[in-house]
Structure 1
Amino acid sequence: MNKDLTNSSIDRQNILNNPYALAEIEKAAGIRGIPFEGKTVLLKEQVAAFFEVTLRTIENYLEQNASELAKNGYVVLKGKRLKSLKEAIHLMDVPETDFGNITKTPQLGIFDFRAFLNLAMLVSESDRAKLLRQAILDIVIDIINQRTGGGTKYINQRDEDFLHSAFIEENYRKEFTDALDDCVDMGNFKYPVYTNKIYVSIFRENAKEYRKILKLEDKDSVRPTLYSEVLDLIAAYECGFGDLLRQEAKAKGRKLKPSEVDVLFKIFETQSHWKPLIEKARMKMASRDLAFRDALHHQLQEYVTPLQRDEFERFIGERSQELADRLADAKDVMKRLKDRD
């Protein structure tokens, strides 16, 4: 998917919240600024010079995007902090005129690297900013691929909660298919039919549509690509609806007709207690797939939000782990528990 960072606040924030990408982008950019409070900062004059635009252009972007830039590191210094910055500039072996007339100014805005990068993703007039945006996108892709071993199809499995959710869902899946077998008067077609009803109820896509969006191959199963929160909700649906099928079939003393099952499912899925769980699952799936897999679920666009820093840690950071390694760890734990008996 071709991303235009100048038009997408969500794509910008996903990059700015990704500490692993930020570290690599900062190395590649090689920006030289003012050492201040343990990091490098830049003044408006320096930023304007880097992007080869006028100071007024930078000020316009600051006015138009004040909230976003402030959230991402742009700050106006006054008092003691401003005095400390002036002292830091004085210690630098460069002419003070490079920083504009700051001697008597009562306040001064500064960009840390995160805020500078935020601005680079906004300035459309600058060729340098355009080149930097392309480098940013390339680095983000490289970092995610590097930390996931070359692909994101199963990035969901790097989550420490995935293994437990997958085991739980598999058990409830068996209960659900058994309930369909025992209680629904329909051929084997009933298994994909009612599985798809659950998918559409939760994330507005059937299996075929989901596979197309994630570009899954024919041999790829859907469930191994789902996030733990989605698997948990599917398990809850399977458990609850399977139980409801058995209760209804027992009350009628016979297997249920497909039309009866459809009515029952409609009542089941519209119960109000599902709403917060469905909204959470949709938000997690839509937001993570856009950020990690570059996959947009069109039916869930309204649920897309920027990922927070801990999400990147969860899936590509130190807390994340390949499924094979988690399985090995689980095997070792089970062996130790067995040896105690």
Structure 2
Amino acid sequence: MSKDLTNSPIDRQNILNNPYALAEIEKAAGIQGIPFEGRTVVLKEQVSAFFEVTPRTIDNYLDRHGDELRQNGYEVLRGNRLKSFKQVLVAHGGNEMDFVTKTTALGIFDFRAFLNIAMLVSESPRARLLRQAILDIVIDTINQRTGGGTKYINKRDEEFLSSAFEGENYRKQFTDALRDCVAMGNFKYAVFTNKIYVSIFLEKAHEYRQVLKLEQSEKIRDTFYAEVLDLIAAYESGFADLLQKKCREKGSALSTWEVDALFAEFESQALWNPLVEKARNKMASRDLAFRDALHLRLKEYITPVQREDFERFIGDKSKDLAERLEEAKEVLKRLKERG
């Protein structure tokens, strides 16, 4: 989907939290700054000159987006740190720096803050071109690190394999309980699976397919993140146990209306609230950042993806599922040999 970075703080923060994309953007941008405390920084006047706007324009953005810019590396130097910076400026040279000699406070932008302001300044054609380059580099970086696509990026997480395997056991417990305890035709499996999906992430299976553009042959569960799989497993295991108990108490299979009422009571338990909130946040936020997929029903749960999630799904510890299966096979083989 088309992204307007000037109007989307979440999209901006997703880019600024992605260390792999930042490294590629920094190479492409080639910004020449001032070395200070292990970073490269630029002054407000340099930023305004680069984007061909007035320093007052930059001040306006600092006034309106100060918290965001400070979070991403903008800061005002005073006291001893300012003295140290002035010494660096002297060593760095350049008459254009003379205006800072008498100042008692000086704002500086590191590279993240520079990109942040680039994603805000709507008046600058140069900033607009940089924003397009940023979006292209972010997409290319994620695709390169995932082998060309993100539909199954969830499988690169080291937690996915165990959650998927364990989830299959709980799924069988659930389908067995539906088979034995619910007086409905075979469509009951789809009906009550959908109830769980709607309870957790507000979408039925076909709606989820549409958001992720899945083919009919593709399995929905293969695209779920580990946290979502774990919560579905908890629902399926817990509701299966409840069905079996009620079935024993009644001495016969439960009707559709009885099962609906039982599920409504089951899903309304307060213990689910923090787990459901977390699952909705993870699904909505990660899918927007990694898959460019917007779950409209979960829009209020979207927050920026944190750096650790970029490490988890496209970092050095993330791996293709085939590699993880191969590793798991070797582990099982060694355990068998020990036995």
TM-score, L = length of structure 2: 0.99
Query: For each residue in 1:150-189, what CA deviation from the matched residue of structure 2 results, as whole angstroms up to 9, or x when unmatched?
Result: 0001000001100000011100000100000000111101
Which amino acid in the other structure matches residue 31 of structure 2?
I
Q: 1:244 aligns with which of 238, 242, 245?
A: 242
- Cα distance in 2 between the residues matched to 1:29 and 1:247: 64
- Aligned match of 2:218: 220
Q: Secondary structure at the match of 2:53?
A: coil
8 A contact 1:202–1:282 mirrored in 2: yes
Query: For each residue in 1:235-294, what CA deviation from the matched residue of structure 2 results, as whole angstroms up to 9, or x when unmatched?
Result: 000000011111111111101111111111101110110111000000000000000000
Runs of 4+ in 1 over 4 A off after TM superposition: none
Which amino acid in the other structure matches residue 77 of structure 1?
L
- Summarize the alignment of residues 198-209 of structure 1 with structure 2, pairs less than 5 Å apart: 198-209=196-207
- Aligned match of 2:56: 56
Query: For each residue in 1:121-173, what CA deviation from the matched residue of structure 2 results, as whole angstroms up to 9, or x when unmatched?
Result: 00000000000000000000000000000000100000110000001110000
- Aligned match of 1:265: 263
Which amino acid in the other structure matches residue 87 of structure 1?
Q
* Structure 2 unmatched ranges of 5 or more: none
**Cα distance change on mapping 1:100 and 1:304 into 2, 3 Å:** farther
In the alignment, is residue 120 of structure 1 matched against residue 118 of structure 2? yes
C-alpha displacement of 1:94: 2.5
Q: 1:132 aligns with which of 130, 150, 154?
A: 130
TM-score, L = length of structure 1: 0.98
- Summarize the alignment of residues 131-280 of structure 1 with structure 2, pairs less than 5 Å apart: 131-280=129-278
8 A contact 1:45–1:100 mirrored in 2: no
**Cα distance change on mapping 1:59 and 1:91 into 2, 3 Å:** same
- Aligned match of 1:35: 35
* Structure 1 unmatched ranges of 5 or more: none
- Aligned match of 1:111: 109
C-alpha displacement of 1:99: 3.0
8 A contact 1:46–1:99 mirrored in 2: no
- Cα distance in 2 between the residues matched to 1:88 and 1:50: 21
- Cα distance in 1 between the residues matched to 2:38 and 2:170: 52
RMSD, aligned CA: 0.8
C-alpha displacement of 1:100: 5.5
- Aligned match of 1:25: 25
8 A contact 1:45–1:99 mirrored in 2: no
- Cα distance in 1 between the residues matched to 2:263 and 2:59: 56
8 A contact 1:17–1:308 mirrored in 2: yes
8 A contact 1:75–1:111 mirrored in 2: yes
Which amino acid in the other structure matches residue 78 of structure 1?
R
- Cα distance in 1 between the residues matched to 2:278 and 2:266: 19
